[in-house]
Structure formats: C-alpha cells, structure tokens
Amino acid sequence: MDLPHFDGWHLLGAFPDGAPDDIGSWLLAHDGEALLLEVPPGLTVRGVRAALKRVGTKLRFVTASHSHEDHLDPEVWAALGKAFPKAEFLHPASVSGDRRLTIGGEPLWLVKAPKHSADDVVTVFRGVAMTGDIELGMLGSVNDEVPLPIRVQSLNRLAGFPDRSGYRVHTVVSAHLNDCRVSIRWSELFRFPRSDPGMGRRGQCRSYGCWGPLVVPDEPGLMAAAGFGTGFDVLCENCGSPDWSNPRAK
C-alpha cells in the first residue's frame, strides 16, 4: 500500500520480508531524538543505526504495539538493548493508562487499550496514531485473548483520548501497513455496530454506578465466542457487562 508522508514518521521498512501485510518499523523523530516503534523479526541493529544516521537523530525509546512475536521479536529486542544501552525500552506490557513521553519537545502518547491482545498499545505522535493490530469499528478480533468487557472498555478509552489529552489525531495507520485512513473522525473508529434491544428503561446496565445503555452487538456469534452463557444477548455499551434482554431466557 502507498502510504502518505507523515511528518516526523520515518519508515525503516516492512518486516520480515517487505511482503504485503508485513510489519512496519518506524522511527518517530523530532529535534534530534527518536522512538523506535515495532521490533519485528528481521529488523537488525545495523538497519536501525543506518536509519538513525539518515534521519540524524539519537535513539531515546524503543517500544512495540503489543508483544505478539511478529511485532516484538525477543531476540531483536535483546540485541537492540545491548547496542543502545542508553535508550529506554518500554515493553508494551509495562505501559498503563495514557503514558506521555517527549521526543525532542514533541509529545508522544502510548495509550494502553487491550482489544486484540492483552498488551495492545496505540502510539500517537504528530497527529498520527499507529493502532497496532486493533480492529477498528468492531468488537470482534482475530483471536479471543481479551475478554469482551475489556474490549468494550478499551474502545471507550481510545474514543475518549482526544478529550482526556486535548490532542487531535487526523490519521491512523495499522501495524501491518494494510490500513491507513486520513482525515478521520477519531471517535467513530472505536464504535462497534450495535442496535437497541428495545428494553425501555430496563435497558440499563446493572453494574453498580454504571447505568450505561444495554445494546445488541451486531456481530454474529460474538457473545457466544466470548464464552457468555445462553441467554446473554446484550452488553453494556459503557462497561461491557453482559446481560439478557429476556429475563426468562436465563
């Protein structure tokens, strides 16, 4: 896919082979400092050094969108750790909440949002977000590593990022470089298809203090795949708690 140019984002290549759907490894740089994003198999110390030289920057941080091995190869991670002892290595599992870093005076956010994997992190820099392997606009995932309520909460956390941070994102790109969207409406990316179960006032979440609306997620088989028992057919849009629209069905 032909990617547009993003200011401050330097693509080292797609790894391991440069084939379609391979993973992009990036240097996010400003004013002489850089963060390396994605440590896939095939990335080498030499390649990173050459990119740093080309961009004219020094390496301050190293991180990855999540710890699936196609994104974070433990051997490459360790080799880079030896080669760049002064850089700070931020394992995605160690990131929590919204972590704000500074790269040459520019803010960079690591937003924790487990949805496709237990340690998904979205990286935001200069108005662009790299969303890792997080599937946009749906609750479903290629795997079931993350419980459904946590996925709902992560999508809500992501949707709320601009309001929490006061920062605007205009473009998103996926880790596999197969999805790039410019001039996006951020919060729309994290809404899942759903319908109103028509339960009236009873259609409110019963978790203490939540009262979120109960909705039917319009993704066939999602509730069953997530391991919810029979009868559960609605979810709280706010906290992700499962419920049932028909009290007799339980």
User: Footprint of Zn ion on this chain (CB under 5 A)?
Assistant: 68, 70, 133, 205, 207, 210, 212, 236, 238-239, 241
Shortest distance (Å) from residue 177 CB to Zn ion: 11
The alpha carbon dihedral of 72, 75, 76, 78 has a sign of positive
Contact in structure between 146 and 115 (CB atoms under 8 Å):
yes
CB 69, min distance to Zn ion, A: 9
3 state DSSP class of 156: helix
The least distance separating Zn ion from the CB of residue 86, rounded to whole angstroms, comes to 29
Write b or e for each residue in 71-104: b if 16 or more Cβ atoms lie within 10 A of its Cβ, otherwise e: bbbeebbebbeeebeebebbebeebeebbebebb
Distance CA 63, CA 169 (A): 20
Least Å from the CB of residue 138 to Zn ion = 15
Name the residue nearer to Zn ion (CB basis): 15 or 84: 15
> Which residues lie across from 100 on neighbouring strands?
109
Q: How far is the CB of 148 from Zn ion (least distance, A)?
A: 12
Residues in the chain: 250
Let me know if 227 is exposed, middle or buried by CB neighbors in 10 A (0-12, 13-18, 19+): exposed
Q: Please report, for the chain, how many H helices and E strands are present, in that order.
A: 5, 15
Residue 242 to residue 16: CA distance in whole angstroms: 40
CB of 149 to Zn ion, least distance (A): 9
